[in-house]
Amino acid sequence: AHFIIFLLWAVMQSLTGVFANSIILVVNSIALVRQRRLASLDLLLSCLATTRICMQVLIFSIHLVALSLVKESVFIDNFLILMFVNELGLWFATWLGVFYCVKIATIPHPIFFWLKMRISKLVPWLILGSLLHSLISSGLQSKYMWSFYKGVIENHFSKNRTKTEDTPSEPFYIFIAGLVPPLLIFLVAVLLLVFSLGRHTQQMRTMGTRDPCRNPHINALLSILSFLILYFSHYAVTILFCAQIVQFGSFLFLLCVMISGAYPAGHSIILILGNAKLKQNVKMFLLRGKCCQ
């Protein structure tokens, strides 16, 4: 029963994530063909959706390894690709949070005002910089930390192995240090957005006027906060795996694998529900599907 439930969850989770991110790609591709240009936000969403589709497929392979349907060597061979896609997706998600913060928040500071005026032009450079950073980071990790990663994978996915006591801790700290920068940037963006919206709401209450932008601001805030929960859970799962705290086949192990797959699928659904254009196109797509049936 546990095997069937976990397998059904893995299939449903993967299909949901691939479908949601494919919708984002299709909608933005149609806009690119019609207008011959793509807005900065749409470009960032398209890049994020591409990494999410790849991430969802790779996470599904983890599900298959956890269920012993495929050999662990399949996951070991693709692990470096998983590391690259994961880090690149985290950077894209971080820049998306920064984009929302800069566009929505109102902070009286020259640097913030400069960002608000130029964030759209900076998006392509942020994407290129994230790609180069992830490539360099993955290359260094494959050269200097591959033995550590391979040992962690084998300890997780092999039932005949146990955690070795002589595993060096330095690679683990190096790995965690690589995940810290996007997390800190995202946290700063979220805190600034919460501070700005809170101060703006307080000013409207003091003046006794109703803010016409209140609902869009609240929707954006809820979207960012819900993503923050998924963002932290993904980081926590990654740290638990690399620290070799969870044991293969345990309930915590299966729960961590499920959470790791919920991150790319859940956030994509949140993005669609929070974006009027994407939400409208999803409704049109579903209605056309019903008409065809």
Q: What is the pLDDT of residues 95-154, one digit of tens each?
A: 988 888 888 877 777 888 888 888 888 999 999 999 998 888 888 777 777 776 777 666
Q: How many helices (H) and strands (E) does the chain have?
A: 10, 0
CB-based contacts of 203, cutoff 8 Å, min separation 6: none
Residue pair 237/170 in contact (Cβ under 8 Å)? The answer is: no
Q: Does residue 76 sit in helix, strand or coil?
A: helix
More reliable by pLDDT, 14 or 172 = 14
Mean model confidence pLDDT for the chain: 76
Q: Give residue 289's pLDDT band: very low, low, confident or very high (50, 70, 90).
A: low
pLDDT in tens, 37-50: 888 888 898 898 89
Q: Give residue 184's pLDDT band: very low, low, confident or very high (50, 70, 90).
A: confident
Tokens of 46: 């398209």
pLDDT of residue 219: 63
pLDDT of residue 164: 47
More reliable by pLDDT, 182 or 275 = 182
pLDDT in tens, 185-225: 888 888 888 787 777 667 666 765 555 555 556 666 666 77
- What DSSP string describes 76-99? HHTHHHHHHHHHHHHHHHHHHHHH
pLDDT of residue 128: 93
The crossing angle, in degrees rounded to 10, of helices 276-292 and 2-35 is: 110
Question: Which residue has tokens 């995202």?
Answer: 186
Tokens of 119: 């964030």
The pTM score is 0.82
pLDDT of residue 211: 53
pLDDT of residue 126: 92
Tokens of 107: 């902070």
Residue 162 scores a pLDDT above 60? no
The closest of 50, 87, 99 to 223, measured between CA atoms, is 99
CB-based contacts of 114, cutoff 8 Å, min separation 6: none
Q: Give residue 163's pLDDT band: very low, low, confident or very high (50, 70, 90).
A: very low
pLDDT in tens, 45-64: 889 889 989 888 888 887 78
What is the set of domains in the chain, with CATH numbers? 1-157+168-292 (1.20.1070.10)
pLDDT of residue 165: 47
The secondary structure of residue 248, as a DSSP letter, is T
CB-based contacts of 125, cutoff 8 Å, min separation 6: none
| Cα–Cα dist 13/4, whole Å | 14
The crossing angle, in degrees rounded to 10, of helices 110-144 and 79-104 is: 180
